[in-house]
Amino acid sequence: MSYTGDVRVGGPTAVRELDDAVVRKVAVGPGANNAYLVTCRRSGAQLLVDAAADPDRLLALVREGSPAARLATVVTTHRHADHVGALVSVLAVTGADLAAGADDADAVGAAADGAPVRRLVHGDTLTVGHLVLEVVALRGHTPGSVALALREPEHVHVPDAVPGRVHLFTGDSLFPGGVGATGGDPERFGQLLTDVRERVFDRFDDATWVYPGHGADTTLGAERPHLDAWRARGW
* pLDDT at residue 155, rounded to an integer: 65
Residue 113 lies in a domain: yes
Helical (H) or strand (E) element with 170: strand 166-171
* pLDDT at residue 160, rounded to an integer: 65
Residue 61 lies in a domain: yes
- Domain extent for 172: 14-233
* pLDDT at residue 164, rounded to an integer: 87
User: Is 49 in contact with 135 (CB distance < 8 Å)?
Assistant: no
Counting as low any pLDDT under 70, the low residues of the chain are 1, 69, 155-161
Contacts of 127 (CB under 8 A, 6+ apart): none
Residue 9 lies in a domain: no
Q: CATH code at 163?
A: 3.60.15.10
The CA dihedral of 71, 140, 227, 207, to the nearest 10 degrees, is -10
The DSSP bridge pattern shows strands 209-212 and 166-171 to be parallel
Residue 7 lies in a domain: no
* pLDDT at residue 158, rounded to an integer: 66
Number of domains composing the chain: 1
* pLDDT at residue 156, rounded to an integer: 62
Residue 126 lies in a domain: yes
Residue 3 lies in a domain: no
Reported pTM: 0.95
* pLDDT at residue 157, rounded to an integer: 66
Which three-class secondary structure state does DSSP give residue 49?
strand
Residue 2 lies in a domain: no
Residue 179 lies in a domain: yes
Residues facing residue 128 across a β-bridge: 131
